[in-house]
Every structure is written in structure tokens, then in C-alpha cells.
Amino acid sequence: MTTFPTRPPLSSTARTSPTRKPQRYAADREALHAVLDATLVCHVGLLLNGSPLVLPTAHGRDGDTLFLHGSTGSGNVRAAAAGAELCVTATVLDGVVYARSLNDHSMNYRCAVIHGRAALVTGEERKEHALRVLSEHLSPGSWDYARRPNRRELAATHVLALDLDEASVKIRRGDPSLDDADRESHSTWAGVLPVHSVFGAPVPASYVPAGTATPEHVSARVSRRTVRPPS
Amino acid sequence: MTTFPTRPPLSSTARTSPTRKPQRYAADREALHAVLDATLVCHVGLLLNGSPLVLPTAHGRDGDTLFLHGSTGSGNVRAAAAGAELCVTATVLDGVVYARSLNDHSMNYRCAVIHGRAALVTGEERKEHALRVLSEHLSPGSWDYARRPNRRELAATHVLALDLDEASVKIRRGDPSLDDADRESHSTWAGVLPVHSVFGAPVPASYVPAGTATPEHVSARVSRRTVRPPS
């Protein structure tokens, strides 16, 4: 007997349900969180002046809320703030998949797709909280080190909150597919070339006096990968 | 006296013209090519069933044509093949920008945005050429090593050609911005933490017999960065 949970674990609307390769869809909310936490840049899609527009942007997650932000002077940010329907996609490329056939060549990846309309975050305290979440995601430690936004800077920034209600996660991992036609091609290599994203050595700004120590929250990051490897 | 070229070097439609920070826009076609060539994954945005949808996909460039491909069973691929308006965005993250103020924290990046409708590539020869371009971008050397697509596989694949006519390139590089309010904060570090994408050691598929040599077109890639560093 199959039992169904009373609440779908992730989302089961038409636009978040698998149409192909259902085995690649993750059904748990933790997978969604993990992909968002593993990416520094997401791509936000919306309709602007009647045309689709996709732009990269930073994000930060707080529970089941995704925060985005941008200049109040930016057309796409203004459209999102006005309630335009959004599609936010975060992708980690984990490897190039070399199969025995070109048709089975692929990529290993983790990809989260979120649909919805964002709410404008208002009020100084809520806005600062959201900006802190964004800041701690992009540059952990900076919130307590650098100068915090003043009123003028806060006023020039739109902060948006998008609920992680309607979302899907697609993951490809592991071996290249093997077509029956290639099963006996034993001498043909196939495998995965992993892709990692890493931090290099920090480069001080030209205006920083020589000898200024690199703060620990920056230097400690160098030995780490920018994104979490797949589990 | 300012002279104007007879043809704009990249594109000057409303949706490809800077509305903010014009200094970040590259005007030359070489910059567009370079960003596309430096990314293994792009994000394709379109309207599907009335909603924006953004999905990652592979691409390959041949002159001023960008090739995309996907399963004929995929809804978004079918919509693109039917002439839906597309926005294709390719982004390279080059670094996390730590400024003296949180407001000036940013990212160094290179981003290409292309607008247009794709044409379905038909005819076995043209389709194979486009697939070869896609293959040589994702996995150089595989076209001459792995089994090429057969008729059944070709028939199950839509190949799309998008002209690079209407496009923009935005690049941020170099030092963090310095607000006047932070000019005298000499003891506060600021700088850039570079981000690189690198290949790891190849992992053979479980079904490949032990001792099978990794082909040179795969192993030679390991010491290389997956994307070209910024110029």
C-alpha cells in the first residue's frame, strides 16, 4: 500500500511537477535549501516590457524565504517589487559527463527553480534583517566588519522576499548513461570530469594602505570551495 | 568631433541599452563571444503556459550563432522551437567584492544577455554540424572519440539556432567602490576574493573496465580552468 503524506514535501503544482526523467527530481525541502545555499548567484526571470528577461543576482535564504535585492533605479527590480511573476533559478554545475555515445553526454548538476511573486520588504528593521541575510550569504562576516547601510543607502535599495512555496529541484549525479548500443564498447572510456568552484587569494583594493591585514572572515574562506560539493 | 560607426558594434535596441552604470557595458562583439565561450551553462528564459521559466542548458557558439539543444519531449524546448521569445543569459562569477561599506559589496562578473527567437535547425547535415559545435564546447574531443548520434537519437533532439544580433554584455571588474564616507577608514580592509571554476580528476564510470586509459581529451583538461579568466 502506498501512503501519501498529507502535505506534499516540496511542491506539486503543474509547473513544478516532472514532465520527464522524474528520477532526477528531488522531493525534499532540504534539497531545495541545499542548492540555494550552495550558489552565490541565481538567475531571475521575469517579463519586462513584454519580453522575457533573465539577469543574475545575489540571494540569501532565511528558512523558507528567499531574499533578493537591487537598486530602486533598476527596471527589473522595480517590476519585481511591483509584483511581477518571477522564476528564480539557481544552478550548480558539478561535472561534465562523458558517455560512450555523444547522445548520452550530459552534465552533473543541481538546479532549483522557484516560481512566485515577491513581496517588497519594508520597515527599517525588517529590511536590515533581510540585507544581513543577503550579506552573510555572499560575504559571511562582512555585516560585523564593514560599515552598515545608512538611511540614504537603505532608501535606494529594494529588498524582495520570495516564498519557497512553489519550487522544484532537479539533480543529475553519478555515471554517464549507457545505451544498449554501447554496452559492449568496453575499450571506450566514459566517466565524469568534476567541476569545482574555488576561491583564490584575496586581492586588496588599491586604496587600502600596504600592510593592512586581510580580515579572518575573508582569508579563512580561501581554502574553502565556494559551493558545497554534492552529497 | 565624435564619429559614429555605420553599424553599432554590438546592439542598441531599448532592451540592450544601458539604463544604469553604462561604464559596465562592453560595446564590442568580442566581449560577447568571450563570455559565451567562457561558460559551460547558460540560462534560457521564456514564457511557458503564461509563466516565466528559467532553465540551465548547454550552448555552443559558431560565429554569431548560438546553438542550443534539448529533447523533443521537453515543453520548454518545444516552445523555443515553436518560436517563443527567448532571453539567454550566460554569467561568469569572477569574485566576491568586499568593500568598506556593505552597500558597496558586490561581485565581479561577466554577463551576456541575448534576446531573440531561435530557429529550428533542420536537415541531417546542418543538425550534425550544430551538435558538433555544442559537443566541442562542452567536451572538446568527444565528437571524434564517442559514438555519434544515430538517426533515432537525432530525431529525438531539437537543435536551435539563435542569432547574436540583439545582445548586451555587462562586466564588473577591479576594486570595490569607495564611498566618500569610507575614504578615511584606512584600517578597514577592502578587496576582491577571486572565484575560479576548475576541473577535478576524472572519475571513470562503474561500467568501464578497470585499467581503461582516460583519453587525452579528458585528462588534459584537468589542469585547466573550466572558464577563461577575465582579460
Q: What nine digits make up the cell of A38?
A: 550552495
CA distances from B223 to A52, A194, A209, B7, B220 (A): 38, 12, 35, 41, 7
Q: Looking at the complex, report in whole angstroms how far the Cα of residue B54 sits from the nearest Cα belonging to chain A.
A: 6
CB contact under 8 A, A52 and B87: yes
CB distance from A223 to chain B under 8 Å? no
Task: Give A141's Cβ-side CA count (13 Å radius).
Answer: 12
- Residues A42-75: tens digit of each pLDDT: 999 999 999 999 999 999 999 999 999 999 999 9
The span from the CA of A177 to the CA of A171, in Å, is 14
What's the angle, vertex CA B171, arms to CA B160 and CA A120, rounded to 5? Answer: 85
Which residues from A are below 8 Å from B56, CB to CB?
Answer: 89, 91, 93, 109, 111
Nearest CA in chain B to A220: B193
- Do A88 and A61 touch, CB atoms closer than 8 A? no
CATH superfamily assigned to domain B14-176+187-219: Electron Transport, Fmn-binding Protein; Chain A (2.30.110.10)
- Do B66 and B37 touch, CB atoms closer than 8 A? no
Q: Where are the domains of chain A?
A: 18-178+188-219
Divide the 231 residues of chain A into consecutive groups of 10 and give the mean pLDDT of each group. 51 83 86 97 97 98 98 96 98 98 98 98 96 98 97 97 96 96 95 96 97 96 78 65
Nearest CA in chain A to B93: A41
- Do A48 and A92 touch, CB atoms closer than 8 A? no
Which residues from A are below 8 Å from B146, CB to CB?
Answer: 98-102, 105, 188
Q: Which SS3 state, helix, strand or coil, does residue B126 take? A: helix
Which residues from B are below 8 Å from A204, CB to CB?
Answer: 189-191
CB distance from A25 to chain B under 8 Å? no
How many of the other CB atoms lie within 10 Å of CB of B202?
19
CB distance from B105 to chain A under 8 Å? yes
CA distances from A222 to A2, A19, A166, B134, B223 (A): 48, 40, 35, 33, 19
Q: Which SS3 state, helix, strand or coil, does residue B41 take? A: strand
Nearest CA in chain B to A183: B207
Continuous H helices in chain B:
29-37, 75-81, 124-138, 151-155, 216-219
- Residues B98-152: tens digit of each pLDDT: 999 999 999 999 999 999 999 999 999 999 999 999 999 999 999 999 999 999 9
Which A-chain residues 46-75 have CB contacts (< 8 A) with chain B? Answer: 46-49, 51-56, 58, 71, 73-75
State which fold the A18-178+188-219 domain adopts: Pnp Oxidase; Chain A (2.30.110)
Closest of B105, B98, B102, B100 to residue B184, by C-alpha = B100
| B20 pLDDT tier (thresholds 50, 70, 90) | confident
Q: What nine digits make up the cell of A200?
A: 583564490
CB contact under 8 A, B55 and A89: yes
